Amino acid sequence: MAILPILVAPHPVLKKKAAPVAEVTDVERKLLDDMLETMYDAPGIGLAAPQVGVSKRMLVIDIARGDEAPQPMKIVNPEVIEASEDMATYEEGCLSFPDQFAEVKRPARARIRYLDETGVSHEIDADGLLATCIQHEIDHLDGVVFVDHLSQLKRAMILRKLQKMKKQGRLAAAE
C-alpha cells in the first residue's frame, strides 16, 4: 500500500469529469487500497480518485468514529438513483481545500448504486453523514467541489485563503 499525494485546488484534474471504470481489475483494487491508506493518513472520511490525480469514477469512504471499528467502503461507478426532497446542511471540509470549512445543503437521503471492489453491484440507502459524504465524493467525480455549492463571495474568500497559504508555503507539497 502507499500514501498518495492529494491535489490541492485549484487543479485541472479536480475540474474534470472522471471516466467510468470498464472493469474492476487488480489495478483498480490496488488504487482503492492506496486511496484508503491515503484517506486514513490525512485523515479524512472520504476520498475520490481525482483528488489523487486519477480521473476514474472511484471513491472510498469510512465514516466510523474513532471509538468504532473501521467501516471502509470501496465504491466504483456510483450512481444516485434517487435523492430525497428534504435537504440537510452539514459543515463540510475537503482534503483538496485544507483547513477550509463551510455549510453545504444537500438532499438528506439518497439511494446509491455502485460496484464493489470485486465488480459486484450494490444499492444502499444513505442518510446522515454518509449521504453527505457520498454526494460530496460523487461531486468530485463530476468535477464539482464543495465550494461550487457556496455563494460566489464565500467561494472567492476560500480560494483567496488557499492561494495565500500556498504563497506562504503552508501547504504540504502535494501538487
Q: How far is the CB of 79 from ligand GNR (least distance, A)?
A: 18
Kindly tell me which of 24 and 61 has the beta carbon lying closer to Ni ion.
Answer: 61
Q: How many CB atoms lie within 10 A of CB 33?
A: 16
- The residue range among 56-64, 92-100, 118-126, 147-155 that interacts with Ni ion, by the rule CB under 5 A, is 92-100
What does the block give as the cell for 26?
A: 487488480
Catalytic residue among 92, 103, 137, 175: 137
Q: How far is the CB of 73 from ligand GNR (least distance, A)?
A: 13
Kindly tell me which of 94 and 138 has the beta carbon lying closer to Ni ion.
Answer: 94
CA dist 50 → 87, 89, 115, 130, 156 (Å): 26, 25, 18, 20, 22
Question: Is 137 noted as a catalytic residue in this protein?
Answer: yes
The one-letter amino acid at 4: L
User: Contact positions toward ligand GNR, by CB under 6 A?
Assistant: 44-48, 51, 90, 92-96, 132-133, 136-137, 140
Q: Please, what's the b/e burial string for 96-127 (b: 16 or more CB within 10 A of its CB; e: otherwise)?
A: bbbebebebebbbbbebebbebeeeeeeeebe
Which of 94, 131, 133, 141 contacts Ni ion by CB under 5 A?
Answer: 94
Kindly tell me which of 77 and 132 has the beta carbon lying closer to ligand GNR.
Answer: 132
The CB-nearest residue to ligand GNR is 44
Q: What is the DSSP string of 108-141?
A: SEEEEEEE-TTS-EEEEEEEHHHHHHHHHHHHHH
Kindly tell me which of 101 and 160 has the beta carbon lying closer to Ni ion.
Answer: 101
Residues labelled as active-site residues:
137
